[in-house]
Structure 1
Amino acid sequence: MFTRTMRALIRFDRDLRVDLVRGLALWAIFVNHTPGNWLGVVTPRNYTLSDATEAFVLLAGYAAGLAYGRTMDRQGWFFAASRVMGRVFTLYVAHIFLLVVFTAQVGFSAERLDAAAYLDELHLDPFAADPYRALLEALLLRYQPSFLNILPLYITVLAMFAVAMPLIRRPWLMLGLSAALWLAARVFDITLPSWRGEDWFFNPLAWQLLFFIGCALGYSPPGGGSVSVPWRPWAGVLCAVLLVAGAAMTVLIYFLWDFAEARLPAFAPFLAAIDKASLHPLRLGTMLALTYLVAHLVPREAGWLRSRAAVVMVLMGQQALPVFCAGIALSFAGRIALEVAEGPLMQVAVNVVGLAALVGIAVLTAWYGIEKYAPRRAAPSPLPAGAPPDRG
């Protein structure tokens, strides 16, 4: 019954691979943001040099190129850019709402549980020391507490896309300029200003490259000629080698760091320099390798994409924004639960309830969208067929 309901809410005219991966990324974000969650050991961040954030940004770019590129071709750049900025405003409102909810949630928990360390750990202490200034800087996106830095990145790169959208018709020029900006941001340590002198956790001037790669892959010009990377066996082998090497480096970084420092003194500094803030080339390459393999090895019409297990993640992926916001709030609630009662039963409860809540949010928002945009039935005419209207 519930599976049939979800199937009725899913748009099957989309590329379900994209929605499935985005749904998995949203689930991984919830798990990874819940300290102490045992499921964190199976999420991709422990075995690849990229994680759910890279997938989220790349697929956000893909969706933007697909939807707004088509709008630009039909109705012009100004109209399409206005639609993009409308989406930017929606994301901004969602970010501020999430900021308020998350701050209240953490502050209340810190007071009730006498755990002031929560505020310091999650970089929410400015709300205690200087609340009015902190609120102002948060509204300007110059202050971003922990866990609340993905949406500001998304807002910024989407606003950049609104300006650069005409370049999508010349994708290689767009990607060349984007790559130049990424390189300059990394080499010269260029980022956007922040309140207390700390760099943005995700430097948008670097991460925009991954977003624009997604835009180029998603855009389909009216006359054909979209960006495509055909399958080559040697390229597939190269991607696999990169992923295996990345897995080995990830294990060294997160699980065997003492061994790396002691036994690999020349290699350890290189591993330590694989940063996330400015999108290290290996993190970028890992995400592109995964994308290449998934795009070519998973058929678009694969039957299992419509299976009972897959449709859960597909529906979550199609309702990404509310599911993401709910996941961030639920992750802290899950953390509190795991700290209050450790053990397997609580682990199961946190993950089952968390996933059920995320799916429930996806179902409600999808249902609301269908009800909102479904064509209304015309009211029956009180006049008999052929009768002239009353002209008063």
Structure 2
Amino acid sequence: MTSLVRLDRDLRVDLVRGFALWVIFVNHTPGNWLGYITPRNYTLSDATEAFVMLAGYAAGIAYGAAMDRQGWFFAATRVMGRVFTLYVAHIFLLVVFTAQVGLSAARLDSAAYLDELHLDPFATDPYRALLEALLLRYQPSFLNILPLYITILAMFAVAMPLMRYPRLMLALSAGLWAAARVFDITLPSWRGEDWFFNPLAWQVLFFIGCALSYRPPGGAPLSVPWRRWAGVLCGAFLGAGAVLTVMIWFHWDYTEATLPAFAPYLAAIDKASLHPLRLLTMLALTYLIAHLLPRDAAWLRSLPGRVFALMGQQALPVFCAGIALSFLARVGLEAEDTWWMQIVVNLVGAMALVGLAMLTAWYGAEKRGAPRTPRLPSPPQPDRN
């Protein structure tokens, strides 16, 4: 584990992203008791916001440096190469997920799986469903995060030079987010349904991450200095958000009965187009974590910290495995919803995610390593007889 974690990076970013990937696995497993303690139960944002923002942060570091060294066109081709990798991963995950859900539905005689996960078109019109899935115009449940990432990254390939003008980039991004919300602008889909994650709105988080990480030649990244009053305001906002989240998730009937005029505003806190309260929650969390968690904190290099950091550094395979494993975990919990099955599902799932991260990191380290010099055969020894 120690040798596989890349310590030359900001481990805070990797740790939060690894934690978000583990949370995605837990939250996508219905009936998982750990789902009651994940951040979505006490903040107005969840792991998806963290995933998108940190993806932008990583893109600003990696592709911004490539743009400054070798120009926009070269950097854009690298971004589009990453887009292609993500697209292939999405199609592979689509095939695996559809196969395991379809097989489970047939073996367990449960068509509800297909309806609930929006996979029923594969039963009624499979060829059209496959074509629309390849075009990203059809996205079954749980398979909508990678299309969001693919689309935003393609937008980033075009808008990359704007990183040199961070305030202009953020103004344009915020304008697009506002327009997408106000005028209900989204990308087309097959059956007339909106994208579950509207890329035209969610891109604002990605570009905020870019602006915070990009370091222009001879300059410094966009700075957001610490102010005590701002920290107190962020803490108060997150506290109020925790109360609202509890009202939404655990006491909705009581909220509707006692606050009939306020309940519609809570119900309107949508995820598809990134409601302002969800956006502000993510920004408040980022501000506090960035300033209150030192980059060189010793516990970041502890075993738990390195485990999450390693998963964050191998985000794509860990994410894909987490989505596939979440359905298997669901089937297991539905077959035997007991405390020991809860332990087995979560322990095996976590071990599988960490094991895959270790394997991927080891393979990447081998590819980056210097080629080994082949050992030459020893010269023949003279016959002493």
Q: Tell whether the structures are fold-level matches, with TM greater than 0.5.
A: yes
CA shift, 1:227, in A, is: 0.5
CA shift, 1:88, in A, is: 0.2
Partner of 1:65: 60
Partner of 1:244: 239
Alignment of 1:49-60 (within 5 A): 49-60=44-55
The answer to whether 1:220 aligns with 2:215 is yes
Deviates more, 1:370-379 or 1:295-304: 370-379
Aligned residues: 377
CA shift, 1:375, in A, is: 1.4
Correspondent of 2:8 among 13, 17, 20: 13
Identical columns (%): 79
The answer to whether 1:282 aligns with 2:277 is yes
Supply the distance in 2 between the matched residues of 1:88 and 1:341 (Cα, whole angstroms). Answer: 40
**Structure 2 unaligned spans of 5+:** 378-385
Partner of 1:306: 301
CA shift, 1:381, in A, is: 9.2
CA shift, 1:225, in A, is: 3.2
Q: Deviations over 1:124-172 (max 9, x none)?
A: 0000000000000000000000000000000000000000000000000
Q: Deviations over 1:103-135 (max 9, x none)?
A: 000000000000010000000000000000000
Alignment of 1:1-392 (within 5 A): 6-378=1-373
Q: Deviations over 1:34-90 (max 9, x none)?
A: 000000001000000000000000000000001000000000000000000000000
User: Which amino acid in structure 1 is aligned with residue 274 of structure 2?
Assistant: L
Partner of 1:386: none
CA shift, 1:374, in A, is: 1.0
Aligned-residue CA RMSD in angstroms? 1.0
Supply the distance in 2 between the matched residues of 1:379 and 1:34 (Cα, whole angstroms). Answer: 48
Supply the distance in 2 between the matched residues of 1:303 and 1:116 (Cα, whole angstroms). Answer: 50
Supply the distance in 2 between the matched residues of 1:13 and 1:215 (Cα, whole angstroms). Answer: 19
CA shift, 1:304, in A, is: 0.2
Partner of 1:390: none
Supply the distance in 2 between the matched residues of 1:364 and 1:53 (Cα, whole angstroms). Answer: 25
SS in 2 for 1:80: helix
Deviates more, 1:214-223 or 1:123-132: 214-223
Supply the distance in 2 between the matched residues of 1:120 and 1:310 (Cα, whole angstroms). Answer: 39
User: Which amino acid in structure 2 is aligned with residue 335 of structure 1?
Assistant: R
User: Which amino acid in structure 2 is aligned with residue 141 of structure 1?
Assistant: L
Supply the distance in 1 between the matched residues of 2:89 and 2:283 (Cα, whole angstroms). Answer: 29
Q: Deviations over 1:183-213 (max 9, x none)?
A: 0000000000000000000000000000000
User: Which amino acid in structure 2 is aligned with residue 112 of structure 1?
Assistant: R
CA shift, 1:377, in A, is: 3.0
SS in 1 for 2:254: helix
Deviates more, 1:373-382 or 1:313-322: 373-382
User: Which amino acid in structure 2 is aligned with residue 361 of structure 1?
Assistant: L
SS in 2 for 1:9: coil
User: Which amino acid in structure 2 is aligned with residue 107 of structure 1?
Assistant: G
Supply the distance in 1 between the matched residues of 2:116 and 2:25 (Cα, whole angstroms). Answer: 18
Q: Deviations over 1:236-292 (max 9, x none)?
A: 011001100110110011101011111011110110110000000000000000000
Supply the distance in 1 between the matched residues of 2:60 and 2:376 (Cα, whole angstroms). Answer: 43
Supply the distance in 2 between the matched residues of 1:248 and 1:95 (Cα, whole angstroms). Answer: 36
User: Which amino acid in structure 2 is aligned with residue 177 of structure 1?
Assistant: L
Supply the distance in 1 between the matched residues of 2:275 and 2:54 (Cα, whole angstroms). Answer: 19
